[in-house]
Chains A and B, each alone.
Chain A
Amino acid sequence: MASYATSAGIGVGLVTLLALYVGMTYCLTGFGFRFDVGWYLEAVSPYMWASTGIAFAISLSVVGAAWGIFTTGSSILGGGVKAPRIKTKNLISIIFCEAVAIYGIIMAIVLGNIIADFDYNNASREVASANYYAGYSMFAAGLTVGFSNLFCGVCVGIVGSGAALADAQNASLFVKILIVEIFGSAIGLFGIIVAIIQVTKIKMGKTAMP
């Protein structure tokens, strides 16, 4: 355990030192302008932003759902051996976790349908700017829904595991803990709502107008 922490610490220290050295060199030799965030944002194609957003949307949601399902599922299996009555009721927790993956796929499909072709080299300023805006929006929407579903899935999973074990001991506890799970599930819903709002106004393609 100690050697893990020290080698991780040494690694982080070396990387920071390197970054500091490179940064100071650029700064002090008058080439600071080369570190150009704006150039980077514009040079990367909007299709790249959009596609990465879609990837985050579905993959992080699935990670969250999977995490939640294994956490709850193993507890249901263990608790169900001595208290078989909990088996069916506790599948609700699994369904809550699964809902998180469904939000992810809905968002991914919605985002995927927005992508359209535009003439990358000859587009007018308005069309290009509308398309770039769309690309950035889709990336952000993907991150929004991906991360909120990730944490929502983990949360519902841990609560579901507690619900299964408590239900095995005392059947009246299940409904109370289900309320906690419902609140946990709501945060995933917030993520997809915000993501939808982020992409309502965007359009990609040759006729896109800002």
Chain B
Amino acid sequence: MDSLSFNINGGYLEGIVRGFKSGILKRTDYLNLVQCETLDDLKLHLQSTDYGNFLANEPSPLSVSVIDDKLREKLVSEFEYLRNHSVEPLSTFLDYIRYSYMIDNIVLLITGTLHQRHISELIPKCHPLGSFEQMEAIHVASTPAELYNAVLVDTPLAPYFIDCISEHDLDEMNIEIIRNTLYKAYLEDFHSFCKNIGGTTAEAMCEILAFEADRRAFIITINSFGTELSKDDRAKLYPRCGKLFPDGLSQLARADEYEQVRQVAENYGGYRTLFEGAGTNPGDKTLEDKFFEHEVKLNVNAFMQQFHFGVFYAYIKLKEQECRNIVWISECVAQRHRAKIDSYIPIF
């Protein structure tokens, strides 16, 4: 019965998000962008879209990193607007979206501290959506263990550390393993939160998050071939909220090569088609691209239903994909290497 009471607190914001969504670039916009010769051309074309004059105040030789920053700024301002106008439980939902960026930022800061970089170098590299109050205080810590005790324990991510990483581990573990362990705990937490909300939100979100979990399992498995990550350690990194749990995950844990991973995917209808088209030949799409396409499809489907929170998550993810697309096209244009300029993922 979401439709009866959702609009009391969420109706206005849902209208706003759908308005934002109509500003996402369409195929015709991408066709225009792909034909640009220089970055200034690109800027001109973007002026006629929802982005408007966002690059107006930038000094003349534009660089791709400036474009990337400005795109991100727009996304952040839209997200902040939504977050500021929301009430529970939507505000907790939007906070969960933030936590994934926080994890990336924390891993960045820990790596930076380990390599003795100064905090002021690291803060500008952090994603603005993932900023938290204690970020400035990170320089007081010199080892990851101190970092945890002094700083991280106050952030909203503390429960994810407690569940899986001890102080001792922080010093010894590979940074990527920390990132994946945190992300696993975050994904499972988010999944159970959406399930508790129930209704249409659970329907839309659990499907998206299950794919995210399975995708991470596949990517972790494939990337771990040839490294010294043991199979047990690998199995500890798989999020359990996807369709692959429990059988697929145990099979993946035993896999030794790409063919075996593909075998596991054969058992699951949705994933078999993703593996089929993928390959490393020049004309093929890579597996990562197929995963991105599938993710875009699931996110677009979230907009087919009304009165649920999935539209907010889907919008942020689609906007991110759009940012990646524009940056890809900009890079191809800037380097004049137009061979793969069409490998962006069209959204609408």
Q: How large is the interface on B (under 10, 10 to 19, 20 to 34, 35 or more residues)?
A: 10 to 19
- Are A74 and B306 interface neighbours, CB within 8 A? no
> In the complex the two chains form, what is the Cα distance from A142 to B14 in whole Å?
36
Set of chain B residues within 8 Å of A75, measured between Cβ atoms = 7, 11-12, 14-15
Nearest CB of chain B from residue A116's CB, rounded to whole Å: 40
CA distance A76 to B15 in the complex (A): 7
Chain A residue with Cβ nearest B21: A169
Residue from B11, B22, B306 in contact with A168 in the complex, judged by beta carbons closer than 8 Å: B22
Nearest-neighbour CB distance to chain A for B73, whole angstroms, equals 19
> Mostly helix, strand, loop or mixed at chain A's interface?
helix
Report how far A17 CA is from B255 CA in the complex, Å.
59
B196 in contact with A165 (CB, 8 Å): no
Q: Are A169 and B198 in contact (CB under 8 A)?
A: no
In Å, the complex CA distance between A76 and B16 comes to 10
B19 within 8 A of A: yes
Contact with B along A1-20 (1 / 0, CB 8 A): 10000000000000000000
Chain A residue at minimum C-beta to C-beta distance from B22:
A169
Is B306 a contact partner of A165 (Cβ separation < 8 A)?
A: yes
Q: In the bound complex, do residue B4 and residue A161 qualify as a contact, i.e. CB atoms below 8 Å apart?
A: no
Distance from B51 Cβ to chain A, minimum over Cβ atoms (Å): 13
Is A112 part of the binding interface, using a Cβ–Cβ cutoff of 8 Å? no
Check A168–B3 contact: CB distance below 8 A: no
Contact B19 A79 (CB under 8 A): yes
A79 lies within 8 A of B4 (CB):
no
Judge whether B7 and A74 touch: CB under 8 Å.
Answer: yes
Q: A74-B7, A161-B11 are in contact. Are A79 and B196 (CB under 8 A)?
A: no
Question: Which of B3, B8, B17 has the largest number of chain A CB atoms within 10 A?
Answer: B3
A154 to B3, CA, bound (A): 9
Q: Give the chain A neighbours of B11 by CB distance below 8 A.
A: 70-71, 73-75, 77-78, 161
- How many A residues have CB within 8 A of the partner chain? 23
Contact partner of B19 (CB less than 8 A), chosen from A74, A154, A161, A168, is: A168
Which chain B residue lies CB-closest to A79? B15
- Cβ of A1 and Cβ of B20 under 8 Å apart? no
Q: Is A48 engaged at the interface, CB distance under 8 Å to the other chain?
A: no
Q: Are B198 and A78 in contact (CB under 8 A)?
A: no
**CB-contacts of B1-49 with A (<8 A):** 3-4, 7-8, 11-20, 22-23
List residues of chain B with CB under 8 Å of any chain A CB.
3-4, 7-8, 11-20, 22-23, 196, 198, 306
Other 7 A-B pairs with CB < 8 A, given A78-B18, A168-B19: A1-B196, A70-B7, A74-B12, A82-B16, A161-B306, A165-B14, A168-B18
Closest 5 CB pairs of A and B: A78-B15, A82-B19, A74-B11, A79-B15, A78-B12
A-B contact pairs, 8 of them (CB 8 A): A71-B7, A74-B12, A77-B15, A79-B19, A81-B16, A82-B16, A82-B19, A164-B15
